[in-house]
Amino acid sequence: MSDEPIDLQDALASFDEIWSPRIVTRVNDYDVRVAKVAGDHLWHVHDDTDECFLVLDGVLNIGLRDARGERTVTLRKGMVFVVPKGVEHKPSAPDGASMLVFEPSGTLSVGDRHDEVPDYVDVTVGHPLTRG
């Protein structure tokens, strides 16, 4: 990881793929990832970890299925939300968005249990950030 400051806008400008997070840095055993998103992700669950979302630009909807039933939270630029471990969720951004995700290193982008993965969703534990 870099020992220099990282501009998140530059990090986002370094790739075009949607639903394909880049690891910008690590904090202890956690990745700080940025991603461009558009359309729907998929319903999935992280059995053993919470997942923290911070919207950097645009609007992100997160569908949730839990003991409270099914609902959607809407996050606008600057808003943060934590999906607790074990909660089924489905991020979506009909008009596109960019986000920062904070989760343990090695966490799979499609969770531990999930629906069928669409071709445009990258099944990854995050890609290294490449800077020019």
For 8-50, where are the E strands, in sequence order?
22-27, 30-40, 44-45
Max distance between CA atoms of the chain, in angstroms, equals 46
pLDDT 10s per residue in the chain (132 long)?
668 899 999 999 999 999 999 999 999 999 999 999 999 999 999 999 999 999 999 999 999 999 889 999 999 999 999 999 999 999 999 999 999 999 999 999 998 988 889 899 999 999 999 865
CA–CA separation, 131 vs 112, rounded Å?
Answer: 30
Domain boundaries, the chain: 8-106
Q: What is the CA radius of gyration of the chain?
A: 14
Residue 55 in contact with residue 99, Cβ under 8 Å?
Answer: yes
Question: 66 has which bridge partners?
Answer: 69
Place of tokens 């343990």: 104
CATH architecture entry for 8-106: Sandwich (2.60)
> Full-prediction pTM beyond 0.85?
yes
